[in-house]
Amino acid sequence: MKLKKRKIKYAAIFFVCWFVLLVFLVDGVLKFQTLVDYVGSYAIVEVALLLLVILPTLAVYKFTKE
């Protein structure tokens, strides 16, 4: 798979914006410890948050037109 600079640029911009929004929501509004208490496992919350950042970024990369 050949990487395209334009697609990487848009995916990177999306990644940064989405990551900042999730950090604000999780650390500021929802409180991380509350999520851990609700789910019951620190690892599950961490993996879920990582997937919430990585999967949409990959989708943006895949669907960005060259």
Task: Tell me the pLDDT of the chain (66 aa) as tens digits.
Answer: 677 888 999 999 999 999 999 999 998 888 888 889 999 999 999 999 999 999 999 999 999 887
pLDDT of residue 4: 81
pLDDT of residue 1: 60
At what angle are helices 42-63 and 32-39 packed, to 10 degrees? 110
pLDDT of residue 65: 83
Q: Distance between CA atoms of 62 and 1, rounded to whole angstroms?
A: 11
Which candidate, 18, 6, 19, 3, places its Cα nearest to that of 64? Answer: 6
pLDDT of residue 3: 72
At what angle are helices 42-63 and 5-23 packed, to 10 degrees? 150
